[in-house]
Amino acid sequence: MTSPQPVVQMTGISIEFPGVKALQGVDFRLLPGEVHALIGENGAGKSTLIKALTGVYGIDSGTILVGGEERVFAGPARAQQAGISTVYQEVNLCENLSVGENIMLGHEPRRFGGIDWRTLRHRAATYLDRLGLDIDPASSLSAHSLAVQQLVAICRAMVVDARVLILDEPTSSLDADEVARLFRVIRGLRDDGVAILFVSHFIDQIYEISDRMTILRNGVLVGEYLTRDLPRLELVSKMIGKSLAVLEQLEEAPKRSAVHDEGATPALQAVGLGRRGSVQPIDLDLYAGEVVGLAGLLGSGRTEIARLLYGADRPDAGQTVVAGTPTRLRNPRTAMDHGIAFSSEHRKAEGLVGDLTVRENIMLGLQAERGWARRIPRRRADEVVERYIELLGIRPADPEALVRNLSGGNQQKVLLARWLATAPKVLILDEPTRGIDVGAKAEIQRLIAELAKDGMAVVFISAELEEVLRLSHRIAVMRDRAKVADLVNGDDVGLDDVVGLIASGRAS
C-alpha cells in the first residue's frame, strides 16, 4: 500500500538569528490522517519550525510545500486561510469576551449588518459539543479555568475546518480526564483525515496518541520514526544526544525524609490560612533545608495556597508566621521584603516581560529590592546574569536576547534565575518544570535539591505526582481546595499512597 502524499513537506529549512543557528537544513513531512509528534529538548528548534511553517518567521533557505504547492505565508492568518491552525501552549484568548465570542472570533455570523448572536452561540455550542464540553457559550471566558480555556482555544482552531492542526503543548494545563477527552477529539479529527502536529514533553502521552515522530536536537534533524518502532529509552537518548544517565537519575533518585530538627522554628507557617471560595483554612509548616511538595489534581487548591503564602491574594482566615513572628503579607512586595519568592506557573502573564532582554528579566527582582533610584552597577549585573545563565543552562547564552524569542523551557529558566538571584529564604515554585524537556527537568530538579541542602525552604508544586515524590521531604495532599493529609516522604511512601489519598479525600 502506497503512502498518501504529504499535506506538508518542508525540505532543507534553515533559519539563523543573530549568533544562533535555530534550524539547519531540517526536513519534515506531515501526512493527512496522522498524529505526528515533534520532539526535542527546549531550544531544539520545534517552535521555530512551526513558526517557519505558519509564516511567523521567514526562512533563510529551503522550501515549504502545502498540498503539493510551494507556499510562503505572510503570517499565521494566511496560513490559517490555507487550512493550517495552531493552538499554542500559552493560551491567546480574550478573557473579556464570552466563550462563544472567542470560538467564533473572526468568523462571526452576520445578519442585517450586525452580528447574529443567536447563530453565533449555536455554532459555538456545536464545536463545544464536539469536544464534549458542557459549557454555556454565553458565559464569560474569564470565569473558566486555564484547562477549559485551553480546550476553548482548540475549539476556535476547529472553526476554519483545518487540514492541519498544530497543537503546541496542549495538555500542559489539563488533568487526566481532560487529557483523555482531548485525545478522543484528536483521534476523531485524525480519522476524518486531519493532519495533526503534536508537540509535548510528556513522553507517555506521545506514545499514547502519536503515529509518527520527528526528533530535533540543536536545530538539526535527528530522524523520523514510527512511534511503535522506537523504544522510549532510545527516544530519550536521541533527544539529549548523550548517555541515558540523566533519565536513570530521574528514575532512580533515592527517597527523601524530613531533615529539620525537632523544636526548630519554621521559616514560614500558615496557621488556619484560607480564603473563601478559593481554599479552605490550612496549616502548613515550611522549614529551612526542606522541600515541601503540594500534591493534588488540577483545581485542588495548590496554586491558591501558593498565592496566599506570597501575598498575591489576601486571606480572610488565619495568619502567616515568618521565622516565628506573625506577619501580615499585604502584597508580594511585603513577601519579598521577608525573603519569600514565588515563581508562577503563568510565566508570561505573571512573570516575564517579553520585550525585555534575558539580562533585564533576571535583574528585575534584585533591582526591585534596591529601588529604581539605586541602579545596580553594570559589572555586578553582568556577574549575576552570567552566573545564572551558566548555572541553569539558559539557551541561547546571550544576555541581550529578547525573552519572547526564547523557547518555553528557557523562559522558565530565566524566571527561576530572577528569583534565585534575590537569595530568598523561602522559594515557592508553581509548576517549574511544566513544558520542560527531560534534560532541563533533571537540571532543575538537581538545583532544587541543592537549594534545600544549602538551607532554603522550598514549596514545590507539580501536576506530575512522581516528581513531587522524587523531590519532596514532606508532602501536603490536596483535594477539592482542602488539605486532606500530611505525609513524611520515605521508602514506605509510594505513588499509590498519594493517589489513594487524593481519590478518597480522607482527612489527616
pLDDT, tens digit, 9 for 90 and up, residues 280-318? 999 999 999 999 999 987 678 899 999 999 999 999 999
What's the pLDDT score for residue 179? 83
**How far is Cα 418 from Cα 436, in angstroms, rounded to an integer?**
18
In a domain, 344, yes or no: no
In a domain, 345, yes or no: no
In a domain, 3, yes or no: no
Cα 438 to Cα 41, 197, 203, 290, 310, distances in angstroms: 7, 20, 9, 24, 29
In a domain, 2, yes or no: no
In a domain, 406, yes or no: yes
| 253 pLDDT higher than 60 | no
Q: Which segment, 79-93, 115-129, 361-375, is predicted with the most confidence on average? A: 115-129
In a domain, 271, yes or no: yes
In total, how many domains does the chain have?
3
Judgement on whether residues 35 and 166 belong to the same structural domain of the protein = yes
Q: How many residues does the chain have?
A: 508
Give the other-Cβ count within 10 Å of 114's Cβ.
8
Q: What is the DSSP string of 437-494?
A: -HHHHHHHHHHHHHHHHTT-EEEEE-S-HHHHHHH-SEEEEEETTEEEEEEE-STT--
Q: What is the DSSP string of 212-256?
A: EEEEEETTEEEEEEEGGGS-HHHHHHHHHTS-THHHHHHHHPPP-
* H or E, element range at 284: strand 279-286
**How far is Cα 464 from Cα 399, in angstroms, rounded to an integer?**
31
Judgement on whether residues 96 and 198 belong to the same structural domain of the protein = yes
Judgement on whether residues 306 and 360 belong to the same structural domain of the protein = no
In a domain, 198, yes or no: yes
In a domain, 129, yes or no: yes
Judgement on whether residues 233 and 315 belong to the same structural domain of the protein = no
Judgement on whether residues 247 and 325 belong to the same structural domain of the protein = no
Judgement on whether residues 367 and 438 belong to the same structural domain of the protein = no
pLDDT band with cut points at 50, 70 and 90 for residue 259: low
**How far is Cα 254 from Cα 446, in angstroms, rounded to an integer?**
12
Residue-range definition of the domain harbouring residue 359: 352-423
| 442-462 pLDDT per residue, tens | 778 888 888 898 899 999 998
What is the arithmetic mean of pLDDT over 480-485?
88
Judgement on whether residues 268 and 131 belong to the same structural domain of the protein = no
What's the pLDDT score for residue 434? 75
Q: In terms of Cα–Cα distance, which of 87, 235, 59 is closest to 28?
A: 59
| 127-136 pLDDT per residue, tens | 898 777 889 9
Place of cell 527546549: 42
Judgement on whether residues 415 and 430 belong to the same structural domain of the protein = no
| 80 pLDDT higher than 90 | no
Q: Which of 251, 277, 304 is the last residue of a domain?
A: 251
User: Lowest mean pLDDT: which of 69-83, 256-270, 334-348?
Assistant: 256-270
Judgement on whether residues 119 and 156 belong to the same structural domain of the protein = yes
What's the pLDDT score for residue 227? 96
> What residues contact 336, with CB distance under 8 A and at least 6 apart?
365, 368, 369, 422, 424
pTM, to two decimals: 0.60
Domain CATH number, residue 290: 3.40.50.300
What's the pLDDT score for residue 351? 75
